[in-house]
Amino acid sequence: MSSGQQLAAEELMDADNAKANSGKGSARLGRARNTVVVKPTTLAFYPPLWTKLLDEAKARIRLYVATEEPFLRLETAVDGQCSEEIIELVVKYQEDRSELEAGFYPQYKRSMARMLFNDTQTFRSEIKKVAVRIVPIEYNLSAPQSATTERERLDAVKQKATALLEGAKFLRGECDSLGKASNFAHPALRNICLGVYYSNSVKSLRQYVEFQHFVPYKALALAAAIVHSVLLTYERHGFSKAESLNVGELEDSYQRLLALMDTVALDTYHGPKLSAMLEDWAQMGMTGFVAKDPVTVKQGGWEVILDYKLPVIIYIRSVDSIRQFSTGLLYSEWRVWGYRTAIDSMGCCTAPDSERPPYSARQQEASVR
């Protein structure tokens, strides 16, 4: 039996268990048992405290998607990262003396994990929905008045989309005050990042420190890859046609964008400039949001306090050093809160934020040369 078939079989078993336990499960399930059996891969199946935990788990898996791996594979994710998120939160709730309702864990652990995996796909779809609203406005994807027929209007929009896609011009904008190119900062990208990652929902990523000081490079690359997908639709049809995201095409675009970001990040002028811009974006997104107090971690009678200091940007000598140091993460995602000597001993040099090139918050357009 393949791993996919095994997953399907276990979900059927969970569904059968849900039917058998419908009289003693969640209140919502009990009310619905005479009409339809609510599946354990949906929040409606679970009582209040489990619903709260699973909402938090969804936010955490979205954080993982945005900052680590956007394209999880079902065969490995359900028993891997998705299950880990569930386990960590169950332990956390137990340590906080929160009494989770009985009868749901570990019986429905696999269904919970599958729910998280499904939400990773929902997350990408939500980014696309925001992009579909923003892209035609920010890129002016409308036909000129001189286009009088439907064919002429569609062709005009197609040509605009083609021009934006050529050479990744959709990333570009105005030069900065020194006449230098700006990279990965078109207003469309900024607005999508702010609209998705810094929303007011319970799953907003601004609740996590990874987004509170800096928009992670990988999160920006994911948004840019989805913008690329939306522009491809305009190039093919001349309008925003409802299409499912092509994951293979999206992943290819994402990897190419990361390669471009590596190039920009290693540049002595454009790398710090991009980092400064992404810090400004995060500051915009954090407006009105109160970050949590510093975390205290205790071990026996000892404790450490995880608070946050002003960031120091790390500059690494080569792409190979980036990969070795960050185990696959772009170096600009690493924010070092002091302790420069430990980094220097690893073959890296550091520079404070004051030494980066000038950047104006108004000049947030992007181009890759």
Contacts of 220 (CB under 8 A, 6+ apart): 184, 189, 193, 261, 278
CA dist 281 → 192, 215, 216, 344, 355 (Å)? 11, 7, 10, 28, 19
Give the per-residue pLDDT at 49. Answer: 97
Query: What average pLDDT score do residues 263-290 get?
Result: 94
Give strand ranges (E) for the chain.
Answer: 295-299, 302-306, 313-315, 349-351
Give the per-residue pLDDT at 289. Answer: 86
Give the per-residue pLDDT at 83. Answer: 97
Give the per-residue pLDDT at 239. Answer: 94
Give the per-residue pLDDT at 327. Answer: 34
Inter-axis angle of helices 83-95 and 109-138, to 10 degrees?
Answer: 110
Inter-axis angle of helices 217-237 and 48-67, to 10 degrees?
Answer: 80
Least confident of 79-88, 166-175, 311-320: 311-320
C-alpha to C-alpha distance for 363 and 7, rounded to whole angstroms = 49
H/E stretch holding 89 reads helix 83-95
The pLDDT-based confidence of 324 (bands split at 50, 70, 90) is very low
H/E stretch holding 187 reads helix 187-197
Give the per-residue pLDDT at 249. Answer: 95
pTM, two decimals, is 0.76
pLDDT digits (tens, 9 = 90+) for 211-244: 999 999 999 999 999 999 999 999 999 999 988 9
CA dist 325 → 91, 315, 318, 331, 347 (Å)? 31, 11, 11, 8, 9
Contacts of 260 (CB under 8 A, 6+ apart): 168, 171, 183, 184, 368
Q: Within 10 A of 65 (CB to CB), how many other CB atoms are there? A: 24
pLDDT digits (tens, 9 = 90+) for 15-64: 545 554 544 444 444 444 456 789 999 999 999 999 999 999 999 999 99
pLDDT digits (tens, 9 = 90+) for 136-195: 999 999 999 999 899 999 999 999 999 999 999 999 878 889 999 998 989 999 999 999
Q: How many CA atoms lie within 13 A of 104 on its CB side?
A: 30
pLDDT digits (tens, 9 = 90+) for 91-108: 999 999 999 999 999 999
| Amino acid of residue 6 | Q
Contacts of 291 (CB under 8 A, 6+ apart): 209, 212
Query: What average pLDDT score do residues 244-262 get?
Result: 96
CA dist 14 → 10, 18, 42, 329 (Å)? 6, 6, 12, 37
Give the per-residue pLDDT at 30. Answer: 45
Is the pLDDT confidence value at 315 over 60? Answer: no
C-alpha to C-alpha distance for 146 and 165, rounded to whole angstroms = 23
Looking at the DSSP assignment, which residues form a beta bridge with residue 295?
306
Q: Which of 221, 227, 257 is nearest to 141 (CA)?
A: 227
- Residues of the chain with pLDDT > 70, as a percent, come to 70
Query: What average pLDDT score do residues 116-128 get?
Result: 97
